[in-house]
Amino acid sequence: MPAMIYRGAILHAIDRDTIAFFPDGGLLVERGRIVACQQFEQLHEQCPRVAVADWRGSLIIPGLVDAHVHLPQTEAIGAERDNLLTWLEEVIFPTERKFRDSSYAELIAHAFFQQALAAGVTAMVVFAPPYEEATEVCFHAAYERGIRVTMGMTLMDTNVPEDLCGTPDELIAASERLAARWHNKGRLRYCITPRFAGSCSLELLKRCGETAQAMGLPIQTHLAESPSELQLIKCLFPLHRDYTSVYEDTGILSERTLLAHCIYLTSDELEKIEQSRAAIVHCPSSNVYLQSGIMPLAEYLDSYNIPIGIGSDIGAGYNWSMLREARAARECSKIRHIQGHSRRIISLEEAFYLATLGGAHAIGLAHEVGNFAVGKAADFVRVSVPSYRSLTTARQALEYLLYAGTEAILSTTIEGECVWQRP
């Protein structure tokens, strides 16, 4: 792939509080990697013979990271219930049961990844169906699309309908087979995926922790999403001090673990997560949609050294766009501040960071994606900017991106190759 300079306004996060912005920037890409990111004139003088893609009138940002999403719930978007557990029983379990049909799985998987790419998502962590064959189909679809996916078959062995369950032996064997076929194949990784402690026995959770450790695999699960869930866990595991200790005692917590939601955590639980170096995924839209609550994001950011990303949580979530989800994180932070529950509102910079570099740190891929550091993969998104909108500062670019430009994506590129373009 020949070298190319992409010219346009360029915005990316250096860290949680620092944003680099070039009103007339140049992004030099060669062989799918970032070679340079700086002012266009300076870059063009250094590389006068390199071809230029003139994207003036556009804003170029890093590929977006969706750190928590459910592929089998795509069809369930908008099917509302008044709490998490009722929604699972009445909507989600019947929907996931449809994935026993591989042709249905293929239809949904291709639509799912197409929607993600159209929203500028280049890396995502996915709960796949609770069936091995359907999960295999989903991996094939991800591989064909070229998207960067960490995914695993959803594992359950108790407290759910029988046809969604397996025994620990069956589930771990299926996970091992899938991991052997797909982990580190192209841009794919396999992830051990126990749904949550309410649908997993202690034996299954222990086997998940052991398998992830033995095979060097990431783990994803849910934690402290709703009050009714907390009561369920307390009844199921009366000998454990708290919800997080169920995961700690079964070997689920590690530096490769992603914990979705985490709304209702004590300081002791947060310290356990911090010590384990696990990551949290904030899902603001779905948390409100199911009336679960609002995660105290600003307090977590200020008080704990825990990697945090954001997730669409399709299908309780309804935003494929991580720019919308970053905006939702900020608006939820405002609500907590208005109600007197939070000392501050998260900044524009923090919201953007969570959707890009912060998400990459949370899912263990910050060495590869998340910003335009030299040597990283050339994953980026082109966002159109109307002629009447002036972007001369980083703040103006962030304001436009998060509040006016969420639907203005023109194309999505992964490792220098355009994988989606607006028709």
Query: Do 296 and 348 sit in the same domain of this protein?
Result: yes
> What is the per-residue pLDDT for 80?
86
Mean pLDDT (10-residue bins), the chain, 423 residues? 95 97 98 98 96 98 98 94 90 95 98 98 98 98 98 97 97 98 98 98 98 98 97 96 98 98 98 98 96 97 98 96 97 98 97 98 98 98 96 98 93 98 94
Q: What pLDDT, on the 0 to 100 scale, is given for residue 52?
A: 98
Number of compact structural domains in the chain: 2
Q: Angle, nearest 10°, between helix axes 322-338 and 348-355?
A: 140
Cα–Cα distance for residue pair 73/31, rounded to 1 Å: 36
Q: Quote the CA–CA distance of 372 and 11 in Å, as a whole number.
A: 9
pTM of the model: 0.97
Q: Which are the contacts of 353, defined by CB distance < 8 A and separation ≥ 6?
A: 13, 15, 16, 17
| Residues 341 and 405 reside in one and the same domain | no
The CATH number assigned to the domain holding 267 equals 3.20.20.140
- Give the strand pairing for 4-13 and 51-62: parallel
Indicate the residue among 362, 382, 408 that finishes a domain: 362
* pLDDT at residue 77, as a whole number: 95
Residues 183 and 80 both lie in one domain: yes
Collapsed DSSP state (helix, strand, coil) of residue 363? coil
Residue 255 φ then ψ, to 5°: -70, -5
The reply to whether 12 and 117 lie within a common domain is no
Domain hosting 398: range is: 4-62+370-421
Residues 9, 100, single domain; the answer is no
CA distance 230 to 223: 9
Q: Give the pairing of strands 409-414 and 417-421.
A: antiparallel
Residues 159 and 241 reside in one and the same domain: yes
